[in-house]
Amino acid sequence: MIEIRKSGDRGYADHGWLRSYHTFSFADYHDPEHMGFGHLRVINEDRIEPGTGFGTHGHRDMEIISYVLEGALAHKDNMGNGSTIVPGDVQRMSAGKGVLHSEFNHARDSVTHFLQIWIEPNVTAIPPSYEQKHFNAASKKGRLRLVASPDGRAGSVTIHQDAYLYAALLDGAERAVHKLQPGRRAYVHVARGCLTVNGQPLEAGDALKAVNTAEITLEKGKGAEVLLFDLA
């Protein structure tokens, strides 16, 4: 079964300093038909205005992944981490029994555009932890590059859930195929550009849910950057 979720059907919030599209119910956006997909709970597409950001706030028992598309995102937390996340970076924060952090756009004249992803963990009340790795464009060009997994295989960041996250850059004749094991499902989110997924034309912000599907085929891309979630 294939189901399309169009970009314009997502929730939207404009806070002035922050513009955010919500794929699934989040904050003041509530849609009982879109509460998540498997253990995937949040995909927020955020744009933070220059010189602004999220002040210190807390999370518990959630795997939080940040994926920057444009600009830079400054991160600080009460574990002692301080870093800047740029395009190509994948940041993973396991909130566990509780963590405080902030995210800021220190640029004077450019917007930070990024995806924040929440995945429900398979363990709770663990010590919080942090990981950040860079995946260059060449490693994603024309192929699905594993960037997050339960065991950190192939240099990916490690998440506490039976979920695998892949990133791909596709253009022209490039084609990528991902086979799904029986009983698993896939969620494809188009971060930018356009392409077809299993023959379905998708544009930036669109998504595809696949259940009882043997494989996912990505092709006919035009400047496409895509995230694919392989979920239990």
pLDDT confidence band for 169 (50 / 70 / 90): very high
**Tens of pLDDT along 114-130?**
999 999 999 999 999 99
The stretches of 73-201 forming alpha helices (DSSP H) are 137-140
pLDDT tens, 74-110?
999 999 999 999 999 999 999 999 999 999 999 999 9
pLDDT digits (tens, 9 = 90+) for 182-202: 999 999 999 999 999 999 999
Cβ within 8 Å of residue 36, ≥6 positions away: 24, 25, 42, 120
The mean pLDDT value of the chain amounts to 98
Pairing of β 176-179 and β 18-22: unpaired
Contacts of 9 (CB under 8 A, 6+ apart): none
Q: What span, in angstroms and rounded, lies between the C-alpha atoms of 44 and 25? A: 10
Which residues, listed in sequence order, are joined to residue 104 by a DSSP beta bridge? 53, 74
pTM value? 0.97
Q: What is the pLDDT of residue 156?
A: 98
Distance CA 126, CA 120 (A): 13
Q: What is the DSSP letter of 50?
A: T
Identify the DSSP state of 128: P
**Given the structure tokens 């043997």, which residue do they identify?**
214
Question: Residue ranges of the alpha helices (H) in 107-211?
Answer: 137-140
Asked whether the beta carbons of 231 and 117 are under 8 A apart, the reply is: no
